[in-house]
Amino acid sequence: MAAANSNSQFGSTFSPALGFRFLLLAALSILLMVIDQRDNHLDTVRKAIGAAVYPLRVIVDAPVSAWLWANETTASRNTLQLENSRLRTERLLTQARLQRYSSLEAENARLREMLEARAAVREQVRVAEILSVSSDPFRHVLIVDKGTNDNVYDGQAVIDADGIIGQIVKAGVLSSQAMLISDPGHDLPVEVNRNGLRTIARGTGEYNRLDLPFLPNNADVEPGDLLVTSGRGSAFPAGYPVAVVESVIRIPQEPFAAVSATPSAALNQVREVMLIWSTQEEESDAVEIEEISDAAEIEAEIVSDNTEAEADE
């Protein structure tokens, strides 16, 4: 108040209006937050502002991209040759595995037919690049460069070569936000690959640790067990590796064991991720699959029952 009185020539012109404007904007903010928290009515607002921010992201990311590009172009012949031979060996190994895999796939389909089980879920995968990582160290959120223009949708699974990374939480027009499985607010339905024991893997806020808080003391789980997505909860396709159990501490007087696991994917080192479109093999959806593949140049197509392949490694 002293401020306004000491300089009345313009202090008085905005001071009363200032308080009013502040209250109005504060009320508006709270209203926005309540609506945003409840449901997705504000998606259009968010997308509009997001589209305006997109160029900024690209500019901000440019130095990093330029650095990577420069590294690549100036890499020595020797390094390139080494990398080339390494990749060639890797390709040979992968192809060998793939040959067996396709026969397994055929066998699997045959068995499913005999059992008259539901058709396997087909998945399509597309590579997306990471534009930026959330600047809040306690929220593990990535921004990827694909949005609703590329048919990205909320809840879509995000993987990399080693396993599940997270899921899309907010799909924008040109870019989307993906929450990592290590975010403290992320719960992921998983099962132990060895015996099919189902449980929940919860993020801890650390990139290299997940918690399994709901396993009883007598649960059959051991360090070294591979955890894969169970497909329950429908957000994630089944059978993708998630984490490896690191430690199991059974405390007799507690109802649950303290189990922690290390994510298979290096969550803080990824630069490229893959988005999965999973579709049931049904007539109605078959059209949609073709549309997606025409529009978006699907780069790979895989079938979900890759648990065997993972287990063999």
Partner 1 sequence: MSDLRISSHMPIILSIVAALMLSIAPMPDWAEAFRPTWVALTLIYWSITLPNKYSVGSAWITGLVLDVAQGTLLGQHALAITLVIYVTVKFHLQLRQFPMLQLTATVFALLALYQFILFWINGVVGVNSPSITYWGPVVSGAIIWPVLNLFLGTIRQRVRG
> What tokens were used for 208?
């290299």
How many residues bind partner 1, per CB under 8 A? 53
**135-138 long-range contacts, CB within 8 A, separation 24+:** 138/184, 138/205
Q: Which stretch binds partner 1 (CB under 8 A): 20-28, 102-110, 223-231, 300-308?
A: 20-28
In the shown chain, the binding pattern of residues 189 to 218 toward partner 1, with x for contact by CB under 8 A and - for none, equals ----------------x-------------
Min dist. Cβ of residue 217 to partner 1 (A): 26
Of the candidates 28, 98, 111, 286, which one interacts with partner 1 according to CB under 8 A?
Answer: 28
Of the candidates 8, 12, 16, 33, which one interacts with partner 1 according to CB under 8 A?
Answer: 33
First to last CA, the chain: 72
How many other β-carbons are positioned within 10 Å of the β-carbon of residue 170?
19
Q: Which residues contact 48 (CB under 8 A, 6 or more apart)?
A: none
Q: Which stretch binds partner 1 (CB under 8 A): 90-98, 134-142, 231-239, 242-250?
A: 134-142
CB closer to partner 1, 21 vs 110: 21
CB closer to partner 1, 56 vs 115: 56
Q: Which amino acid is at 116?
A: E
In the shown chain, the binding pattern of residues 138 to 167 toward partner 1, with x for contact by CB under 8 A and - for none, equals xx-x-x------------------------
Asked if residue 68 binds partner 1 (CB under 8 A), the reply is no
Asked if residue 2 binds partner 1 (CB under 8 A), the reply is yes
In the shown chain, the binding pattern of residues 47 to 66 toward partner 1, with x for contact by CB under 8 A and - for none, equals --xx-xx--xx-xxx--x--
Q: Which stretch binds partner 1 (CB under 8 A): 95-103, 117-125, 126-134, 296-304?
A: 126-134
CB closer to partner 1, 129 vs 308: 129
Asked if residue 16 binds partner 1 (CB under 8 A), the reply is no
Between residue 220 and residue 279, which ones bind partner 1 under the rule CB under 8 A? 268
Asked if residue 36 binds partner 1 (CB under 8 A), the reply is yes
Q: Which stretch binds partner 1 (CB under 8 A): 99-107, 109-117, 136-144, 209-217?
A: 136-144
Query: ∠ CA(174), CA(179), CA(182), 5° rounding?
Result: 155
R_g over Cα of the chain: 25
Asked if residue 39 binds partner 1 (CB under 8 A), the reply is no
Of the candidates 11, 104, 209, 235, which one interacts with partner 1 according to CB under 8 A?
Answer: 11
Pairing of strands 176-180, 141-144: antiparallel
Of the candidates 74, 78, 117, 137, which one interacts with partner 1 according to CB under 8 A?
Answer: 137
What does the binding site for partner 1 look like in residue numbers (CB under 8 A)?
2-3, 6-7, 10-11, 13-14, 18-19, 21-22, 25-26, 28-33, 35-37, 42, 45-46, 49-50, 52-53, 56-57, 59-61, 64, 132-139, 141, 143, 169-170, 177, 184-185, 205, 268
